[in-house]
Structure 1
Amino acid sequence: MFFRTYILFIFCIFVQFYPQVEATEVNISTSIEPELSAAFQARTAWLEDRKVIKGNSSSPQFINQLILSDSPYLLSHSLQPVDWIEWEPEFESGFQSNGQLIFISIGYSTCHWCHVMAEESFADREIAEHLNSSYINIKVDREQWPLVDERFKSALELLKGEAGWPLNVILTPEGQVIWIDSYLSKAKFSKVIRGLANRWHNKPEAIKSLAARIDKKLKAELGIGNEQSMGKTLSKSEWRALLPKMHQNIHNSLIAEQGSSGPRFFRAYWALGLLDEYLRSGDKKLLMTVESHLDIILLSPVYDMVEGGFHRYAVDGDWQVPHFEKMLYTQANMIRVLAKAYGLTGKGHYSIAMEQTSDWVETWLKNDFGYSSAVSALSEGEEGKYYLRAADTGSQEVGEQLVSIDNLTRDWRDSKTFQQLNESRANRIKPLIDEKVIVSWNSLYAVSLLEAYEVTQEKKFLDRANLLLDSLWLNARKDNQLNRILFHGRASIPAQMEDYAWFATALLKLSFYQAWADEEFENVTKEKALKKNIEKSIETATQRAVWLLDRLGNKVEGGKGDKLTNLTLDGELPSTYAAAFGAITNGRQMIGKREYKVWLNRLTRFFNPKPQSIISQYSFVTLMADKVKKVNVNQAVFAKGHGKVTLEQKQGKLSLLFDMEPGWHVNANPASSEKYIATQVSMADLGDVEVKGESFKVNYPEATHKKLGFNDESLALYEGIFEIELRDIVDNSSPQKVNIRIQACSDSLCLLPEDIFFFQ
């Protein structure tokens, strides 16, 4: 009823007022400020290369404030007659528009309809005259300001049933929505902006009344309220009871989508969560469903078997018509899924696709400061033209399968067809690349590289992640603050929660492969070092992660509950809420600062899972499942970050390689006394049925004997680097878990015993 009333009201505006509106004569100023002119001169070569400057004009008629931006998308609008400004953080607290309406247009560089509307409407002088005379005009790159985009995308979905880009919204001077839509033709858009401007001029109270009704609807439906309405925190036992049904709902949804009409998305976080649940439950249908989903994608044109990399999604239900953009985050998401699938199955085609995708990112997206965000779908003005064969060849490259489902394990890169297709692209005009480096996307990509390294031990993955994270740390941090964007070496846009979260997560993963930090740093607190500007103290991945987590925690601590809960929905990326929760959870496991528990409790408190919304909140659900029961594939951290262990398979045996931080140890097997908990290794199937001892043998290393400060007797210990071997494993054909029971101590205290589970 609300939506029908809203549409009827807007319709009445147009019917009653639009015919009476006469064209307003407004002269667009062609005088250009010196600052804008200088910025244009500095970026002329780039603008020419991107075809923003058409012809040989070196003196454009219009230059707006977007010429100063660090976004290729915004720069493409910088020579339009609209007096655009870009989004500023200050707009969160008000627009200071002097009573004018606010027009916001949100898009991104690889958005086809964004560029269509730009050509049709925003480059048009008549449209510009109406916008400039009646509105404050704000252009937003959704990739720079994801939370701004999410806010208005949610409003558009609620009011119209679906959302897309360009996302256009008109607000009152106070920031309340009065109209929102996506692409409109020039004629329809002109009618909207003229009709609403006229209505605002003649009857502002009617517009304010409409805005108040819409605002009330949005707050009610989007859960914007006070913290007391957020619901109660679920206990661990309540989560344990809910989780199986949640996983089953996702599994059923993934199967249902396989028969849908499209569009089709990769659902990377569904796949990752279901693979993890397979490890916990042993339910093989979860693994089989994910494998089927992956294999269909790899055999489809949505995966570029010629050069590597995944297109953004499929337009149809059969994965045969790609939407040809290639996004960095898509590659990161899919590398993570492929790494997990390869780690569980050992199937070579997952490893091949993972390596080919990373190599494509390295070839196409790598720049001097990180990895560019995206490749356009367009080449020579046509979507997908770069990926299609010429019509006179009699066939299309896209859709042509290099391998079949029966022979997917063959390395298609060795085939003659592959070589021919690769060579045929060499002379084609490549799509444009959005060169901006986004910290969160790059950090997510680093996570994917480290997960690829974990299951393959291919050093190039580790090296790429190391170089990338170093570059982000050195270039995105300025004046002791983290920025979100790097564009041609310039850092801009304050970092968002997701930037801190994914950057910290990546660094904590990297720390697994670094030597333990110097004791000297542990004796000097992080804040004390920063106050003295001892930047060189922040050298290890763990130390850098602490810096990031402290700032992430401040945002969690200072964020209002209603605003935090609005960050729980997944999109093509996992929710900001889940990213923050995951980063702080990792920090607590590996660093153990007390504040981390407080921040986690706050995030848990404000998450109230509902069955109808669980599909769009699954990334957080998977983290809670991991908290209830964590199963590792190849490596684990224990003892609050003071110990590391890696599982390796070597010619008929399993090897557990331990690395204890100096000053920490575990009890040997056998222990010095029955009162101490010996390190114990056992095996079980995925249903937790224990594998009998005669089915395998455990070789424990020789103990180190020493006296510690809290005990006069000599103790049998394992410390430093040591190895436990499992030999003569009788049946290795079915999946099994390796269980490690362990208790870690320092010279002054002992932690509680803990269990580590490995899948093999």
Structure 2
Amino acid sequence: MPHTNRLIHSTSPYLLQHAHNPVDWFEWGPEALQKAKAEGKPILVSIGYSSCHWCHVMERESFEHDDIAAVMNASYVCIKVDREERPDIDSLYMEAVQALGVNGGWPLNVFLTPEQKPFFGGTYFSPASWVQVLQNIHKAFEGNRQQIEDTAEELRLHLLRSDVQRFKQTPSDSALQADLSDIFTKLQAHFDKQWGGMDRAPKFIMPSVWLFLLRHHYLTKDHASLEQVVLTLQRTASGGIYDQIGGGFARYSVDAYWFAPHFEKMLYDNAQLLSLYAEAYAITKSEIFKRVVYETFDWLQLEMTHPLGGFYSALDADSEGEEGQFYVWKKTELEKLLGENEPLISEYYNVKPGGNWEFGNNILTRHKADDVFLQAHGLSDDEWKTLQDSAKHTLHEARSKRVRPGLDDKVITAWNAMTVCGLVDAYRFFADQTFLDAAIRNMLFMEREVQQGNVLYRSWKGKHSVTTGFLDDYAYVIQAQLRLYQATFDERWIEKAAVLIDYVMDQFYDDTDGFFYYSSTSAEPLLSRKKEIFDNVIPSSNAIMAQNLFQAGTLLEREEWKSLAVAMAGSLAHLIKSEPNYMSQWAIAHTEIKKGMAEVALVGKDLHAVRQQWMQQYAPYALLQGTEHQSKLPLLHDKIASGDGPTLFVCYNKTCQLPVHRVEDAIAQLQ
């Protein structure tokens, strides 16, 4: 009979993975925190997530062993945290560990005083090292308590310092073109001009960097920015970071070539990459980019969608105890499955007899351009597509019979809203109703399952979590509602966005510095209430809110929202220009605010076809609105169609140019 601890009652798949450890785990909450105070014991907080490879390794090596668990249980109150459900706890203690000079990562193991003050921490420990750490800290806590308290107090004071206080400056008066030049020069210095992305390893795709560069190209007509985006997207679509058989992207590449991924697939990466590849298609009309969007969507539908419409969080890197086992191939296996077509398919996907990776395995990648490959083999596009589709179908069927990677089937509000944005962008540029239907279905799911009144909850797994939403949950839901309005002209979406913005202003806004806290005023108080400023693999929630305020303020003529967005972005402009790698979402918001967003109004009957034609244009600095009859939106109040068909008005700062009837004429007015 296996041991069972308190985590058995959790809704988090990650915590449930630890429910049969002999460690006496608690979830974060009053029971554990009060026990630590009552018994005068230090707290051990171990933070991870379900698809984290080294989290699994440390569990197998340490947390599943009775002798190591006995040491933990005797001296500590042990708390397990799912960083995806409690990003507030994760970011707080990650900052503390980094302040101690330790590189961050997961699993994150942090030791706290009974008052929740951190004093020591690290990431993965081998079993022998872990036992040594446990014993040494227990000894120090018993014998040198004052020294530990002094360290903990220093860290507490460090955590109370706000990034906004450290980095906010008086806005400068620089011209938009000068800002664009500064930002691009900083980014360009780190381009990998052979393999795409930035010149580092491991490589994360960081979609917001490339979305900014698409806008840079639009504003400056500088082809160097577009060329680097195209190179990056071609390389990532050809590499092992992209699942060549099943679609969807892994979290990152461990090398500089996008070849060997860390095989976990995260919803938030793929949500952003839907937008990025769709936008890049709008400019380039690249069939490769279109194929990536459709294949990624197929993967989402097949493997990541709950029957009720929510999107799951992640697929694990491991299966059968080995990283990537589900995705790699032996050449002999391909020979059996593909028969006479195997040599051609193996050449195309860079398959080697002894493997191109470890243990004789092959990661499927593409190193030759399709036209070069087809010319070398005398194949037409149609012949190759038929052959390739058949091979991919065969391999997908064979792979589906393998032991599957673990699925984190909780639904995270922010990540689902990000996916809605990606789906709406795909709908805009491909005019395929399937994308919009999936987006609306997901939004209706969230309204039913993770929203009560104006309150969002962080996650859902059969029921919503007890943890209420964080700023990113609200920011991305508002962003999704604004995009859905523009794609449908259904004014319910913009009305819902306005209600949530007012709620965020009430619950998250700090009027002392003009930015938003990550947690609401009604959330559980932690050691420090933080504000998220810098972009990571997920863009900064404050940057998304600045965009939301400016766009919604423009559409609804809420000048106080626009003014707040201007002040937020302006006070960080120096940082946007000096550190654009970590401020790329801010760079997008900053350029929208400095350039100003045109409002394009469509009025009259039968708007659908004209809206579809407009949306397929790449016009990142225009907000679309429209009505066939009446509207509550300020700009549409007095707009009347002339003639029988729809009429388009292009407006800046409440001043409209002459009405036109063709999309091409409206696009010309934008220029």
In the superposition, the TM-score normalised over structure 1's length comes to: 0.71
Matches within 5 A, 1:89-238: 96=37, 98-160=39-101, 162-215=103-156, 223-224=161-162, 231-235=168-172, 237=174
The CA deviation string for residues 664-716 of structure 1, in whole angstroms up to 9 with x for no partner, is: 2348999xxxxxxx9689xxxxxxxxxxxxxxxxxxxxxxxxxxxxxxxxxx9
Contact map agreement 1:511 1:541 (CA 8 A) in 2: yes
2: CA distance, partners of 1:627 / 1:93: 48
Contact map agreement 2:171 2:571 (CA 8 A) in 1: no
**Distance verdict in 2 for CA 1:126–1:657, change over 3 Å:** closer
Please tell me the residue identity of whatever aligns with 1:249: K
Matches within 5 A, 1:190-339: 190-215=131-156, 223-224=161-162, 231-235=168-172, 237=174, 241-255=178-192, 260=199, 262-339=201-278
**2:665 paired with 1:724:** no
Greater strand proportion: 1
2: CA distance, partners of 1:247 / 1:328: 29
The corresponding residue for 1:584 is: 549
Structure 1 residues 115-124 or 508-517, which shifts more?
A: 508-517
2: CA distance, partners of 1:604 / 1:596: 13
Please tell me the residue identity of whatever aligns with 1:549: I
**Distance verdict in 2 for CA 1:228–1:448, change over 3 Å:** closer
Deviation at 1:510, TM superposition (A): 0.7
Greater helix proportion: 2
Contact map agreement 1:378 1:432 (CA 8 A) in 2: yes
**Distance verdict in 2 for CA 1:493–1:556, change over 3 Å:** closer
The corresponding residue for 2:502 is: 550
1: CA distance, partners of 2:223 / 2:264: 34
The corresponding residue for 1:713 is: none
Contact map agreement 2:601 2:626 (CA 8 A) in 1: no
**2:284 paired with 1:345:** yes
Q: Secondary structure at the match of 1:430?
A: coil
Contact map agreement 1:280 1:631 (CA 8 A) in 2: no
**2:532 paired with 1:593:** no
Deviation at 1:542, TM superposition (A): 2.0
The corresponding residue for 2:21 is: 80
Please tell me the residue identity of whatever aligns with 1:424: A
Structure 1 residues 592-601 or 441-450, which shifts more?
A: 592-601
Contact map agreement 2:97 2:121 (CA 8 A) in 1: yes
The corresponding residue for 1:701 is: none
1: CA distance, partners of 2:131 / 2:391: 51
The CA deviation string for residues 694-742 of structure 1, in whole angstroms up to 9 with x for no partner, is: xxxxxxxxxxxxxxxxxxxxxx996xxx833548xxxxxxxxx9343xx
**2:312 paired with 1:387:** no
The corresponding residue for 1:738 is: 667
Deviation at 1:128, TM superposition (A): 2.4
Please tell me the residue identity of whatever aligns with 1:85: F
**2:382 paired with 1:443:** no
The corresponding residue for 1:473 is: 447
Matches within 5 A, 1:325-724: 325-369=264-308, 370-390=310-330, 392-393=332-333, 394=353, 396-401=361-366, 404=369, 406=371, 414=386, 415=388, 416-478=390-452, 481-515=455-489, 517=491, 540-558=492-510, 561=513, 566-597=531-562, 599-600=564-565, 603-604=568-569, 607=572, 609-610=574-575, 613-629=579-595, 636=600, 646=611, 648=613, 659-660=626-627, 661-662=630-631, 664-666=637-639, 723-724=661-662
Deviation at 1:132, TM superposition (A): 2.5
2: CA distance, partners of 1:136 / 1:650: 55
**Distance verdict in 2 for CA 1:377–1:668, change over 3 Å:** closer
Deviation at 1:491, TM superposition (A): 4.0
**Distance verdict in 2 for CA 1:492–1:289, change over 3 Å:** same
**Distance verdict in 2 for CA 1:717–1:505, change over 3 Å:** same
Contact map agreement 1:113 1:165 (CA 8 A) in 2: yes
2: CA distance, partners of 1:550 / 1:129: 50
Structure 2 regions of 5+ residues with no counterpart?
334-352, 356-360, 375-380, 519-529, 652-656
1: CA distance, partners of 2:146 / 2:448: 52
Deviation at 1:399, TM superposition (A): 2.8
2: CA distance, partners of 1:726 / 1:598: 32
2: CA distance, partners of 1:553 / 1:202: 48
Q: Secondary structure at the match of 1:139?
A: strand
2: CA distance, partners of 1:322 / 1:650: 34
The CA deviation string for residues 379-425 of structure 1, in whole angstroms up to 9 with x for no partner, is: 21211111112464445552343963546996876424323322332
Deviation at 1:124, TM superposition (A): 2.3
**Distance verdict in 2 for CA 1:608–1:726, change over 3 Å:** closer
2: CA distance, partners of 1:84 / 1:598: 47
Contact map agreement 2:457 2:464 (CA 8 A) in 1: no
Contact map agreement 1:66 1:75 (CA 8 A) in 2: yes
Q: Secondary structure at the match of 2:467?
A: strand
Contact map agreement 1:443 1:469 (CA 8 A) in 2: yes
Contact map agreement 1:315 1:322 (CA 8 A) in 2: yes
Deviation at 1:229, TM superposition (A): 5.8
2: CA distance, partners of 1:218 / 1:543: 37
**Distance verdict in 2 for CA 1:658–1:203, change over 3 Å:** closer
**Distance verdict in 2 for CA 1:232–1:612, change over 3 Å:** closer
Please tell me the residue identity of whatever aligns with 2:126: S
The CA deviation string for residues 597-636 of structure 1, in whole angstroms up to 9 with x for no partner, is: 464356447646435543212211221112112578xx95
2: CA distance, partners of 1:515 / 1:364: 31
2: CA distance, partners of 1:192 / 1:485: 34
Deviation at 1:310, TM superposition (A): 0.8
**Distance verdict in 2 for CA 1:238–1:555, change over 3 Å:** farther
What is the alpha-carbon root mean square deviation over aligned residues? 3.7
Deviation at 1:136, TM superposition (A): 2.2
In the superposition, the TM-score normalised over structure 2's length comes to: 0.80
Contact map agreement 1:588 1:597 (CA 8 A) in 2: yes
Deviation at 1:556, TM superposition (A): 3.5
Task: Give the greater-gyration-radius structure (CA).
Answer: 1
Q: Secondary structure at the match of 2:544?
A: helix
2: CA distance, partners of 1:210 / 1:407: 62
Identity of aligned residues (%): 28
Q: Secondary structure at the match of 2:132?
A: helix
Q: Secondary structure at the match of 1:160?
A: coil
Q: Secondary structure at the match of 1:625?
A: helix
2: CA distance, partners of 1:93 / 1:546: 40
Q: Secondary structure at the match of 1:178?
A: strand
Deviation at 1:304, TM superposition (A): 1.1
Structure 1 regions of 5+ residues with no counterpart?
1-56, 518-539, 671-677, 682-715, 728-736, 741-755
Contact map agreement 1:372 1:437 (CA 8 A) in 2: yes
Contact map agreement 1:104 1:168 (CA 8 A) in 2: yes
- Does 1 or 2 have the higher relative contact order (CA < 8 Å, sep 6+)? 2
Please tell me the residue identity of whatever aligns with 2:324: G
